[in-house]
Amino acid sequence: MASSVYRKRLAGVRALMKKKKIDALIVPSSDPHLGEYVPDHWRVIQWLTGFSGSAGTIVITGSFAGLWTDSRYFIQAEEQLRDTGFQLVRLRVPHTPEHIEWLRAKVGKGKTVAVDGRLISAGIMRSLKENLAPKEIRLNIKADLVTPLWKDRPAIPAEKAFSIPIRYAGESRCDKISRVREKMTEMGADYQLLTAVDDIMWLLNIRGKDLRYSPLLLSFAIVSHDQVLFFADEEKIPGPMKSEFDIDGVVLLPYDAVSSVIRTLPEGATLLLSPSATSAALLNAIPGNVNVKEEISIPTRMKAIKNKTEIKNLHNAMLRDGVALTRFFHWLEKRPRHESVTELTAAARLDGFRKEQEGYTGPSFATIAAYNGHAALPHYVPDKSTDAELGKTGIFLLDSGGQYYGGTTDITRTIALSKPDRRQKKDFTLALKGTIDLAMLRFPYGTRGYQVDVLARKALWDNGLNYGHGTGHGVGSFLNVHEGPQTIGSAASGDLKTILEPGMLISDEPAIYRQGEYGFRTENLILCTEDCETDHGRFLKFETVTLCHIDGELVDVSLLDDRELYWLNDYHEKVFRALGKHLEPGLVDWLRKKTLPINR
Amino acid sequence: MASSVYRKRLAGVRALMKKKKIDALIVPSSDPHLGEYVPDHWRVIQWLTGFSGSAGTIVITGSFAGLWTDSRYFIQAEEQLRDTGFQLVRLRVPHTPEHIEWLRAKVGKGKTVAVDGRLISAGIMRSLKENLAPKEIRLNIKADLVTPLWKDRPAIPAEKAFSIPIRYAGESRCDKISRVREKMTEMGADYQLLTAVDDIMWLLNIRGKDLRYSPLLLSFAIVSHDQVLFFADEEKIPGPMKSEFDIDGVVLLPYDAVSSVIRTLPEGATLLLSPSATSAALLNAIPGNVNVKEEISIPTRMKAIKNKTEIKNLHNAMLRDGVALTRFFHWLEKRPRHESVTELTAAARLDGFRKEQEGYTGPSFATIAAYNGHAALPHYVPDKSTDAELGKTGIFLLDSGGQYYGGTTDITRTIALSKPDRRQKKDFTLALKGTIDLAMLRFPYGTRGYQVDVLARKALWDNGLNYGHGTGHGVGSFLNVHEGPQTIGSAASGDLKTILEPGMLISDEPAIYRQGEYGFRTENLILCTEDCETDHGRFLKFETVTLCHIDGELVDVSLLDDRELYWLNDYHEKVFRALGKHLEPGLVDWLRKKTLPINR
């Protein structure tokens, strides 16, 4: 779109600001559920500026308009914002509200800062208030200046929700609701407010089609001790689901009714909510005489622990995903020499192989198909402007995932398109040691994710190397590919209470990046399981559930110790046994070669 | 003492409680500085109950009197409290104020709970208030019922303070004060309140003799931008020190004057204090219009990073300590067969060898000399009632430390008095692997102690073993043997901001305990130092500074990998080279044998 379009939109916003006596307007990149993926309806920043990145914050004043975003988007934002009237402000620390500092410094005493309170968390609102109060700056959190201007705004998808049968969910809606209520009683709560949509999908055993990468139906819920209020677009709820809801005490209310219901919560009641997932607008709707308890939501903690059925289905999803990936890598290696493949066509082809698999509904996130230097950017996603053709030599990193009925997958493999050099093999193997060392760990019950992160990094650290992101994130069950509360990272940030528990699914993805050259990452999903009980207590372990061979060409076997080499060969044997019987004969032979024991 | 004495004292306290309308009295085991070691003057619990343990809390009501203490004192407390009128209450979690729960449950609505506010931290006071408020229980924090009753109360020692010359301190008093003031300016503070005595000793380059294991002079200080108010007993300050103070802007005031000075802090001033080190009484003395900023004190953070002079002196102290320990272990092994040695006499003998060393002033904590089953108790300290004779077979664990001008030491060695069996060798070696693996680590700048703790445990975890305490604590420079803010532990408790920095000294003490049988612990002090700078950032490492051989008889070399074995042999060579030249010929030969390379 021509940049003049964006300049006009900016002028329109400024005119409205003037009318409403707003001196500075904040425009966030979220929707009212504050989740990771946002439907097109809520991609306000793209409409306003043309910037297509997933994360950013806009601030507009009479004389300034800027977009705060993080380093992965610097180049793209520079280009997309050119001549739009918006300038790029580089975030020093990703995902932090550095625009608040700017506002504190630049907005004059007694002025008004405004934001649409539905789109910022209660936590950000508090930070805004704290920072603006000393300068007596007013905060207006009811400023939706976009709706009046955005004429052709995309609607929320109208596709219907669908039920998850017990053979996938493993626990009925009623049983889940009972368990949540028991926990509410324990915590002295009358109500649990649910704003994170995946929490609601899990609780009600339903899914929707409102988002691109996660099977979610935009909705809110309030669980009380006698009913569940479910706020969603009635047209998207099929008749039989409505009948089930009636029986199970789930009351369907209009999506927009959530604030008005919150406003009528009875005096003295105790309401649980999560301040990072609850919008400022909803928090402000709570009557002053209601006791608010801020805690990670009960469903968030419960759904992190997969039940037996979910684990069985997870294994099935892994099998199907592994078959698709094997076919993809076989195709890539065996394709005719003249057939050109780019990052984008490779990603599309992989999606094609996944589509052949039963129960696949789509990718679980935007595929990172990255050739050479692109692979050194951990969050690179190819688009038309960056798409690179895969050469006959070099490194190809593929980080992708699928949504299947019964499971969400997330896997990274890196392959060498030609014989790798010594440094590449060393780098690859050091990062792989991290993947293996974490996977092999036995640890006492009560261990937290930040305690074990170092095991994924130690081989790299020994060699003066490191990677700048976390080691592992939780993964949903046919839900979000990034799911809390557990993580494996270097910082004890977030929730210190969360321990690793049997049934938790988590990624294991140490990496090494050589700027401008290449990147290596081997990512498997690992499932926390029971190990043994000794005089010294209860011990847990991880089971690697991802099924796909690792490129042996890149392994420098001299850098693996005996246990690591045993793990790798054992893993390859497991991959072959699991996938082999689902592959056509030619592919079986190919996979056999790829999974043969590596010897010293 | 007869138990009737304690019953009388309890009756005396109850009579005073009645008079002062106190329904429940709390008696803590601290002094007004809330440090680890307490002078006899403040050992109120021992006077009141006969219990001689270092940590506990008493609660007295009209019908109940109990002592809360942790598991290491259960047996001892049972015996010492017999017929005193006090009963033992077992803490579920050590060092937690579980008596507050009891008070909340047992004290009636509208009643009064009292405590001497000088002896509890501001943090504990807040917890008391929060827990007692819902029952409208009054909290009286000015209740000193012991002073009127304790007739022969020991005085605070009258010994004089002494200066630490620049050749030990490495930085002048004035330079330290300037650095603290710069930081205060950065933090927007007008005053820094210092209540932890070691902070004050460090800042003023002085030491005292008020405590048994730490060279401290009981005192308070308030640093402002133009002077340092130093609250101490004037009689203990030598004349020349007073003159120096005059020149350096340090104003000597009576020890007891601290609260009245705090009461007169000017309106609008900003005062820094640490809520865990500041008593409730002092916090309450602060005028309401003073801004309180709660932070770990600036000197605590500064003194944790040892300067070049301190590090040079530390190496000297380690050398002397190593010579004393070598002589001790040689004596123990070579003593005539008929010569009986007990835990207590061994500890005394070790102290004797240390006393031969220049600059030694005494032990840095009560020596843990532990034979067989006693060694399975991590905090065991022998006394007359438990003292065990060392047999011809078995395991002897010795955890001890010395205070030297220029350095504080802390070292554990475990030796086999006879040929150890396979299980013992395996246990010893698994824990030793932890000591070595942590010592060998290279890690990026910015790493926190809780991130690397697992490396000390991994070999044990792999075998279903673990230990129930932290891996490492900071160590002072001729100051407290336990010094913050850095720790290496499994929990990201306390201060999440503290990273490991060059100059930090920390212990490295993984262990394994077999209840009733034996315990193994190899503890060295490790100094954090610069390592290298790579494309991936700045890396740090540890240098093991403790110098004393490790019992090779207990090592199962098959369990060490090549790097660990190399480390051990290299360490032994370093120990021999360092200590050999300070030992008499016979001892040199003995140490040579103890430090010969171990081969596979």
Report d(CA A267, CA B515) in Å as an integer. Answer: 55
Cβ atoms of residues A106 and A97 within 8 Å: no
Please indicate whether, in this complex, the C-beta atoms of B451 and A448 are within 8 angstroms of each other: no
Query: How many CB pairs below 8 Å do chains A and B form together?
Result: 69
Cβ atoms of residues A555 and A428 within 8 Å: yes
Please indicate whether, in this complex, the C-beta atoms of A454 and B450 are within 8 angstroms of each other: no
**Nearest chain A residue to B513, by CA:** A536
Interface test with B, best of A466, A488, A534 (most B CBs within 10 A): A466
Statement: residue A494 has pLDDT above 70: no
Nearest to A490 among B451, B515, B535 (CB): B451
Cα distances (Å, whole numbers) of residue B480 to A87, B54, B474:
54, 16, 9
Supply the pLDDT for residue A481. Answer: 97
Interface of B with A (CB under 8 A): 441-444, 447-448, 450-455, 458, 460-462, 464-466, 490, 492, 496, 514-515, 532, 534-537, 539, 561
Which residue matches tokens 């900023």?
A: B293
Report d(CA B528, CA A379) in Å as an integer. Answer: 34
Pair of tokens at residue B101: 């729960």
Give the closest residue to B191 by CA, choosing from B166, B223, B226, B218.
Answer: B223
Q: How many CB atoms lie within 10 A of CB B212?
A: 14
Chain A residues close to B532, C-beta within 8 Å: 464
Report the relative pairing of strands B228-231 and B250-253 from DSSP bridges: parallel
Burial of B561 (0-12, 13-18, 19+ CB in 10 A): middle
Q: How confident is the model at residue A478 (pLDDT cuts 50, 70, 90)?
A: very high
Chain A residues close to B461, C-beta within 8 Å: 441-444, 539
Q: How confident is the model at residue A71 (pLDDT cuts 50, 70, 90)?
A: confident
The single-letter DSSP state of residue A438 is: H
Nearest to A453 among B451, B465, B466 (CB): B451
Q: What is the pLDDT of residues A528-576, one digit of tens each?
A: 999 999 999 999 999 999 999 999 999 999 999 999 999 999 999 999 9
Report the relative pairing of strands A250-253 and B505-508 from DSSP bridges: unpaired
Size of chain A in residues: 600
The single-letter DSSP state of residue B93 is: S
CA Rg value for chain A? 25
Chain B residues close to A455, C-beta within 8 Å: 454, 458
Q: What is the pLDDT of residues A373-396, one digit of tens each?
A: 999 988 889 988 889 999 999 999
A243: closest CA of chain B, how far (Å):
45
Q: What is the pLDDT of residues A344-365, one digit of tens each?
A: 999 999 999 999 999 999 999 9
Q: How many Cα atoms within 13 Å fall on the side-chain side of residue A369?
A: 25
> Which 3 state secondary structure label does DSSP give B16?
helix
Nearest to B464 among A441, A453, A534 (CB): A534
Interface test with A, best of B426, B436, B451 (most A CBs within 10 A): B451
Higher-pLDDT residue of B305 and A76 is B305
B493: closest CA of chain A, how far (Å):
9
Supply the pLDDT for residue B53. Answer: 85
Please indicate whether, in this complex, the C-beta atoms of A451 and B451 are within 8 angstroms of each other: yes
B537: closest CA of chain A, how far (Å):
8
Chain B residues close to A514, C-beta within 8 Å: 535
3-state DSSP of A248-304:
HCEEEECHHHHHHHHHCCCCCCEEEECCCCCEHHHHHHCCCCCEEEECCCHHHHHHC
Give the closest residue to A499 by CA, choosing from A457, A542, A543, A444.
Answer: A444
Q: What is the mean pLDDT of residues A288-309?
A: 96
Q: What is the pLDDT of residues A397-410, one digit of tens each?
A: 999 999 999 999 99
Q: Left, alpha or beta for B195 (phi > 0: left; psi -120 to 50: alpha)? A: alpha
**Nearest chain A residue to B562, by CA:** A561
Chain A residues close to B561, C-beta within 8 Å: 561
Number of H helices, E strands in chain A: 18, 28
Interface of A with B (CB under 8 A): 441-444, 447-448, 450-455, 458, 460-462, 464-466, 490, 492, 496, 514-515, 532, 534-537, 539, 561
Please indicate whether, in this complex, the C-beta atoms of A466 and B561 are within 8 angstroms of each other: no
Please indicate whether, in this complex, the C-beta atoms of B534 and A461 are within 8 angstroms of each other: no
Interface test with A, best of B497, B536, B565 (most A CBs within 10 A): B536
Chain B residues close to A454, C-beta within 8 Å: 443, 451-452, 454-455
Report d(CA A271, CA A295) in Å as an integer. Answer: 10
Q: What is the mean pLDDT of residues A297-325?
A: 98
A431: closest CA of chain B, how far (Å):
14
Chain B residues close to A441, C-beta within 8 Å: 458, 461
Work out the angle between the directed axes of helices A98-106 and A122-132 (0-180°, nearest 10).
30
Cα distances (Å, whole numbers) of residue B142 to B146, B284, B407:
12, 11, 39
Give the closest residue to A298 by CA, choosing from A137, A185, A404, A146.
Answer: A185
Size of chain B in residues: 600
Supply the pLDDT for residue B504. Answer: 98
> Which 3 state secondary structure label does DSSP give A115?
strand
Q: What is the pLDDT of residues A111-168, one digit of tens each?
A: 999 999 999 999 999 999 999 988 899 999 999 999 999 999 999 888 999 999 999 9
Please indicate whether, in this complex, the C-beta atoms of B450 and A450 are within 8 angstroms of each other: yes
Chain B residues close to A450, C-beta within 8 Å: 450-451, 492
Supply the pLDDT for residue B362. Answer: 97
Q: CA dihedral defined by B32, B33, B38, B42, rounded to 10 degrees?
A: -10
Q: How many Cα atoms within 13 Å fall on the side-chain side of residue A221?
A: 28
Residue type, A384: K
> Which 3 state secondary structure label does DSSP give B68?
strand
Report d(CA A231, CA A240) in Å as an integer. Answer: 17
Please indicate whether, in this complex, the C-beta atoms of B492 and A492 are within 8 angstroms of each other: yes
Chain A residues close to B450, C-beta within 8 Å: 450-451, 492
Cβ atoms of residues B453 and B507 within 8 Å: no
Statement: residue A366 has pLDDT above 70: yes
Interface test with B, best of A430, A454, A560, A566 (most B CBs within 10 A): A454
Q: What is the pLDDT of residues A209-240, one digit of tens each?
A: 999 999 999 999 999 999 999 999 999 999 99
Report d(CA A461, CA B447) in Å as an integer. Answer: 11
Chain B residues close to A438, C-beta within 8 Å: none
Q: Residues A86, A92, A94, A100: is their CA dihedral positive or negative?
A: negative
Please indicate whether, in this complex, the C-beta atoms of B454 and A455 are within 8 angstroms of each other: yes
Give the closest residue to A77 by CA, choosing from A54, A94, A60, A59.
Answer: A54
CA B112 to chain centre: 34
Nearest to B461 among A443, A461, A515 (CB): A443
Report d(CA B440, CA B567) in Å as an integer. Answer: 8
CA Rg value for chain B? 25
Nearest to B466 among A465, A492, A536 (CB): A536
**Nearest chain A residue to B561, by CA:** A561
Burial of B201 (0-12, 13-18, 19+ CB in 10 A): buried
Please indicate whether, in this complex, the C-beta atoms of A492 and B490 are within 8 angstroms of each other: no
What interface predicted TM-score (ipTM) does this complex get?
Answer: 0.90
B463: closest CA of chain A, how far (Å):
8
pTM of the model: 0.92
Cβ atoms of residues B262 and B286 within 8 Å: yes
Q: Give average pLDDT by consecutive 10-residue segment, chain B, 600 residues.
A: 89 96 95 90 94 91 94 84 94 87 93 96 92 92 93 91 97 98 97 97 97 95 98 96 97 96 96 94 95 96 98 98 98 92 97 97 97 92 91 96 96 97 98 98 96 97 94 97 92 78 98 95 98 96 98 98 97 98 96 96
A163: closest CA of chain B, how far (Å):
41
Report d(CA B349, CA B337) in Å as an integer. Answer: 17
Supply the pLDDT for residue A79. Answer: 87
Provide the mean pLDDT of chain A.
95
In which element (H, E) is residue A586 found?
helix A585-594
Respond yes or no on whether the N-terminal peptide bond of residue A154 is cis (omega within 30° of 0). no
Report d(CA A295, CA B87) in Å as an integer. Answer: 38
Supply the pLDDT for residue B149. Answer: 94
Percentage of chain A with pLDDT > 90?
A: 89
Interface test with A, best of B453, B463, B466 (most A CBs within 10 A): B466
3-state DSSP of B134-195:
HHCCEEECECCCCCCCCCCCCCCCCCCCEECCHHHHCCCHHHHHHHHHHHHHHCCCCEEEEC
Chain B residues close to A461, C-beta within 8 Å: 441-444, 539
Report d(CA B288, CA B307) in Å as an integer. Answer: 39
Cβ atoms of residues B507 and B487 within 8 Å: no
- Cα B425-B428-B431 angle, rounded to 5 deg: 145
Report d(CA B330, CA B338) in Å as an integer. Answer: 16
A540: closest CA of chain B, how far (Å):
10
Please indicate whether, in this complex, the C-beta atoms of A451 and B448 are within 8 angstroms of each other: no
